[in-house]
Amino acid sequence: MEDIIETELDSMAIILHAGNAKSSAYEALVEAKQLKFENFALQYSEAKKELNLAHRAHAELLRKLSAADKMKEVDLLLVHAEGHLSSTAFAVDMIGELCEIYQWKGSIING
């Protein structure tokens, strides 16, 4: 039973950090739309930091499962956490790309 609790807590850590990353990334996007690029950089940096923490939690969980030879015992919460992590990584990357477009737009507007 203890292994299940540890897996659940690790899965929740992935979800927590991925959620924080996604929130910060979308806050960064709001700043980019308003052409506030310094604020964008702060929020985007926070998003990348949280995404890194989520990836670390995921890697650690996979190491634990592998070391205990329990890779076949993946639960639904872990599957959810991995899906959340993947979609967040995509969102953070795309928001970074969108900011480049907004910076280009800002350079045209500001001449």
In sequence order, the 6+-apart residues with CB closer than 8 A to the CB of 54 are 13, 14, 16, 17, 18, 21, 85, 88
**Interatomic CA distance for residues 111 and 95, integer angstroms:** 24
Catalytic member of 17, 55, 58, 80: 80
**Interatomic CA distance for residues 85 and 34, integer angstroms:** 27
**Interatomic CA distance for residues 89 and 53, integer angstroms:** 12
* Residue 17 designated active-site: no
**Interatomic CA distance for residues 6 and 4, integer angstroms:** 5
Catalytically active residues, by annotation: 80
